Amino acid sequence: MAGRKGNITSANSTGIITVDELFPNGFLLENYATDAAIAMDEETVAETRMGVDGKMVAGYVPSIKVLTLSLEAISEAAKALDLVNARSHQNMAIYHLSLSFSVPGLRQTWTFQDGVLKSLKSVPDVKKVLDIRTFKFDFESLDIQDW
């Protein structure tokens, strides 16, 4: 078996989104965009300020984990997220979800918990071929497990 050294393959990664009220067993993420399947914004870890005496103080602050998922226009996962969006509009309600993403190249699983679908590109741009669609999520927590 090949070692982990130098393996940055993402092609064999897998992800599942669970929405208790709509998809309690979860649905598989498939048909990721080529160059930006998932992207996480930077986290703010500390709040800092400088006193008039030139001394800095700092404190830890919890922060929202912002994640963008990019899917091809034909993705079944995009259709499932469209349903989450439609139900949110219909019921004027938010649906909480979790996302588990396994990356064999890093031998890690990233579990994003207590999230919401915050925004989405409702239809793909129509170009020579249909463009990707993006879905942005806010999560309360992220747990990274090595295996």
Phi, psi of 71 (to 5 degrees): -125, 150
Could you tell me which residue, 10 or 145, shows the higher pLDDT?
145
State yes or no: pLDDT of 6 exceeds 90: no
Separation CA 36–CA 44 (nearest Å): 22
- Rounded to 5 degrees, φ, ψ at 62 are -70, 150
Q: Which two tokens stand for residue 101?
A: 């993403």
Which residue matches tokens 């509009």? 89
Is the pLDDT at 66 greater than 60? The verdict is: yes
CA distance 133 to 122: 7
14-146: which CATH topology?
A: Pnp Oxidase; Chain A (2.30.110)
How confident is the model at residue 1, as a pLDDT? 47
> pLDDT tens across 92-131, in order?
999 999 999 999 999 999 999 999 999 999 999 999 999 9
